[in-house]
Structure 1
Amino acid sequence: MLDERRIPPAVAAFYETNGRWPSVVTDSDYERSLGQWLNRQRVALASKTMDDFRRAALDQAIPGWEADPDSIWLDRAREASDFLLTHRLIPSVQSSRYNERMIALWLTGQQSLLRAGRLRGDRRRWLEEHCPGWSRTPPRTLTKKTAGPVGIRNA
């Protein structure tokens, strides 16, 4: 467990070093712990359970830590794209790898939004361009360990 006083500077250093916020969808236990902590802060802010003193302290220690829903969505979409293009297969929610399971669940959610007609057009287009096969794969395939390879289009 990380020391609460050391987490904000660690998150800031991670961002400065990597040019992105720590992710909860990673094989790195250290990055995942930072990402989970950051997500909890963002949830507290969004749900208005964070006091003004804590918010000010985070603003000073981690400039730009607040994320709007579009930024968070884009972070998740990039993680899905990286997985699909790197592994060339649809992630499985039954995988032993945490990051693969989380990406599979996120993609299943996007498919549900698409089927319900509630996925924004700009998000659908982004996924179609950067996540080959994401919408053509039946949701049940995402839950099978033997999910087939993703068809990668040549650009």
Structure 2
Amino acid sequence: MEKLESVGASGRDPDMVPRRDWDEQLDKYVSFVKECNRVPSQSGEGPGERMLAFWLRHQKASLRNGLLLPERFEKLERVLPGWSSPYRLRPGWDQMLARVVQFKTGHGRWPSSTSPDFAERSLANWLYRQAASRDRQHEERLAKLNNALAGWRQRPSGDTEGWNSRLEQIVGHLQTYGRLPTMGASASAEEYALGKWLAVQRYALKKGTLYPERLGRLDELLPGWRPAAAP
């Protein structure tokens, strides 16, 4: 039988869960975050996701009540920074800025949203969202970004080469068929993928997060690509 964790100094059982089972739950939680690029939700569609959300909620309750074993606290801190926040599993804004600066300085490039590394993708996605942010601290944060990361707003997000390649494929489709690709029921898998990519660009335009140099190339090479309601 799997050995249970020992009783805490207070005499109360800190968490009568076998060590192996607890570690497995932690691994599942971390895997979910990496694969889905978000934290599990208590209102998630699948029971597995809801169980993971409840599991982390239980860890927070154990910490709050002084029942979380030190070794478990250390593991959570190591693999899920900021996990103990009562609201969200995210570091603060200033902490994210410091991480992006550290990455840019250490690697000599911007973080990529297509990187296989979850941490790098998180940095790239966070930086991409700043251009569209309109919260109460927007002006103050823009000043910090401009001071710490010169040129951050103009930089292409993610894989520039991949983006340009996709655009060239759509140009080729337009030249061959005389129309832009769609995601219609009769579209081939290749056309559907191109149509989906184009839909993502339209969505970025609508949200104000499409970088100017990319908008210029789309307007130049794909006349009529904008949705009817777009400026």
TM-score by length of 1: 0.47
Point out the structure with max Rg over C-alpha: 2
TM-score, scaled to structure 2? 0.34
Relative contact order higher in (CA < 8 Å, ≥ 6 apart): 1
